[in-house]
Amino acid sequence: MHTHGGITHMSDEEMSQQLQDQIGRLQQYQTQLQMIQQQRQQVESRLKEIEEALDELEKTDEKTQIYKSVGSILIKAKGKADVKKDLDASKESLDLRKNTLHKQEGRLREKLTELQSKVQNSMQTAKNA
């Protein structure tokens, strides 16, 4: 890298290395984004299951036998209120997780967009040099 008249010039080799680094980071961001999206989809799927269970629970009366799944077995629940409390707690926890993932996804998208434009500018500059 050398400066001439206040303008910094990079050799092709330096530009190429910088571009390779940026492209590498771009690929990392894309991979991270995919992972976050998958996690968010899993959380949303689980939330939907919980909401469906809560809806079904509302349709039952206190005399209805309710079982809950624990690992690979079903256990008779103590009662409707107990199951509802557990489901509400799970729902609250998953809602927080979903919001966190949504924020992470947004920040990563911003970084990705910013880096994509830097890479495009670098490639354009290299092409015009």
Residue 127 in domain: no
Residue 38 in domain: yes
Query: The CATH number of the domain where 97 resides is what?
Result: 1.10.287.370
pLDDT in tens, 10-64: 566 766 888 889 999 999 999 999 999 999 999 999 999 999 999 999 999 988 9
Residue 91 in domain: yes
pTM score over 0.85? no
DSSP state of 60: S
Q: How many domains does the chain have?
A: 1
Residue 124 in domain: no
The gap between the terminal CA atoms of the chain, to the nearest Å, is 15
Closest CA to 106 of 29, 52, 43: 29
pLDDT in tens, 70-94: 899 999 999 899 999 999 999 999 9
Range of the domain at 10: 2-117
In sequence order, what are the residues at sequence separation of 6 or more whose Cβ sits closer than 8 angstroms to the Cβ of residue 119?
A: 19, 22, 23, 26
Residue 57 in domain: yes
Residue 128 in domain: no
